[in-house]
A and B are shown apart, each in its own frame.
Chain A
Amino acid sequence: MSRSTVALQVGMLARRSVVRTLRQPAMVIPALTFPLLLLAINSSGLDSATRLPGFPSDSYFEFALAIAFVQGALFSANSAGTNVSNDVETGFLNRLSLTPLRRVALLLGQLAGILALGLIQAVTFLGVGLVFGAGIKAGVGGALVIVAMSLLISLAFGCIGAFVALRTGSGEAVQGTFPLFFAALFLSSMSLPRNLIESDWFRTIADWNPVSYMLEGIRSLVITGWDGEALALGFACAGTLALLALAATASALRTRMART
């Protein structure tokens, strides 16, 4: 099978995935509104936290903006998982397994919808941030890096959602994992910088939680400028998670297609 055939397969499945994701308001609207709602409430409710000695910004809104990107990416897991589990439940994957379709094409195609949603989210959150006065210290280049990191995080969580869906074949199981993603976000440096977290046990969890570094990577571009260490850690955590999740998803897809 030639490369152009695979590219054609990826293109067709990607188009289906993007159209399917974007034409479901129930998938797109919460993924945009909930992070913005949390941002609005957080940034006003915790603005006085900027008075803490050592707080890295005068504006809690700028500090909290990164949360929207990561929380939005968490919705990717849900969207990807729901779409894939739907394909399992409706027998779409069964029918595809009877065709000469390459598994890699199926995997890449399925994830295209998540990346499209991730792009819309990143651009929206960036736009809202700028409209409400957040300055991106790293400038236009930094904004582009924020979008890139946001997409990588969406890919990572989207792959985890797809993996759960392929392993279980159940939309309900995918929904059941959502609180776990939520926990990963809440047990991170989401609300305060790690050096200002007073509880030892919480700081230890936040130190080990890769979501902390994803948040800090994006946050550094907004409130610090170009911080090589924060960016390297952010990209390393998001990239490693994406690679592991992608490998697990590919394996689960192989099992799923073999079974059918």
Chain B
Amino acid sequence: MRRGGFISIALAVGWRNVHTYFTNPAFIVPGILFPLFFFTAFAGGLSRVDSIPGFDYSAGYTAFVYGFVLLQASAFGGIFTGFSIARDFESGFSRRLMLAAPRRGGIVGGYWIAAVVRAGFNVLMITIVGLITGLQIAGNGVDLVGLYTLALLVNAAAMLFGSGVAMRLRTMQAGPAMQVPVFLILFLAPVWVPYDLLTGWVQAAASANPLTLALEAGRGFIAGDPTKVLPAFAVVAGLLTLSVLWARGGLRSAERAV
């Protein structure tokens, strides 16, 4: 039963999606373009913001923005993979796939591989652009492992959330249902200025937003000054657990529909 095992299914589905991704500009461009827009627009257009009294991030504004865009690119890499799942359901491919695969969890595993590759590519592009435009990472090797592990976990949580939605609704029209919650959770964190400089309802929203901790920890890693590491990993692990349960429910729903 080796050929029908979890790993072989995951690798096959992952390879198919990675291949589709890299051979179709319509898939690559949006995933890379939006985080790049945000990075260039914020790091370039808002760099003066680090002169605001109370802005106390030592690594500079480009690094501050990079911390956000890194998580954004990771999350979008996951969500866009959710779009691929929805598209596969619409085209009927997923139905055939589910009939053929004895270990259907491997299908989700395959999409996760694709999500990691997509996010990895996006992050690589953004990091290259960042380094060209003056990004300075003060963190050491251990900090970087922490930073990119955090990004990987956010990517997995977003992908599993997206797959749960896609497998329940099984249509591309589910796109906004995947994208909007992730967009909101990302932008209701301290995106442009540190938490202490936020005002009004956004500060209240940021204090309740689990991603605020992840963002602050990520920025701490970049600055070489790890902060709130354990709470951040705990919160992201919690999100990941919820996403696993959500995706598993989605898979069950899709199985019932086959």
Using CB atoms and an 8 Å cutoff, list the residues of chain A in contact with chain B. 40-41, 44-49, 51-52, 172, 176, 179, 182-183, 186-187, 189-192, 196-199, 201-202, 206
Contact = CB atoms under 8 A, between A and B. Distances in A.
B29 interface: yes
Contact of A186 (B30, B45, B47, B190): B45
B41 A191 contact: yes
Main SS class of interface, B:
helix
Contacts of A176: 26, 29
A255 B202 CA distance: 50
B37 A192 contact: no
Contact of A44 (B30, B46, B198): B198
B37 A48 contact: no
Nearest to A38: B187
Given A49-B193, A186-B40, 11 more contacts: A41-B202, A44-B198, A48-B54, A48-B199, A52-B48, A176-B29, A186-B37, A186-B38, A191-B42, A192-B49, A197-B48
A184 to B, nearest CB: 10
Given A41-B188, A45-B193, A202 B202 contact: no
B246 interface: no
B223 to A, nearest CB: 20
Interface in B38-69: 38, 40-49, 51-54
A44 B203 contact: yes
Contacts of A183: 33, 37
A206 B44 CA distance: 10
B192 interface: yes
Closest 6 pairs (CB-CB, A-B): A202-B44, A44-B202, A186-B41, A48-B197, A198-B47, A44-B200
Contacts of B199: 44, 47-48
27 contacts: A40-B201, A45-B187, A46-B192, A48-B52, A48-B54, A49-B49, A49-B192, A49-B193, A51-B53, A52-B48, A172-B26, A179-B34, A183-B37, A186-B38, A186-B41, A187-B37, A187-B41, A187-B44, A190-B41, A191-B42, A191-B46, A192-B45, A192-B49, A196-B48, A199-B43, A199-B44, A199-B47
A191 to B, nearest CB: 5
B37 A199 contact: no
A7 B201 CA distance: 50
Given A41-B202, A47-B199, A176-B26, A202 B34 contact: no
B97 interface: no
Contact of B48 (A45, A179, A198): A198
A88 B44 CA distance: 40
A179 B33 contact: yes
Interface size bucket, B side?
Answer: 20 to 34
B21 to A, nearest CB: 16
B191 interface: yes
Nearest to B25: A176
A45 B191 contact: yes
A45 B189 CA distance: 9
Nearest to A30: B176
Contacts of B34: 179, 182
Nearest to B194: A48
A78 to B, nearest CB: 14
B252 to A, nearest CB: 30
A47 B38 contact: no
A45 B41 contact: no
Contact of B44 (A40, A52, A172, A201): A201
A191 B199 CA distance: 17
B45 A202 contact: yes
A49 B48 CA distance: 9
B57 to A, nearest CB: 13
B202 A45 contact: yes
Contacts of B40: 186-187, 202
Interface in B1-57: 26, 29-30, 33-34, 37-38, 40-49, 51-54
A183 B44 CA distance: 13
Contacts of A198: 47-48
A148 B19 CA distance: 48
Given A51-B53, A52-B52, A44 B41 contact: no
A131 to B, nearest CB: 15
Contacts of A187: 37, 40-41, 44-45
Contacts of A191: 41-42, 45-46
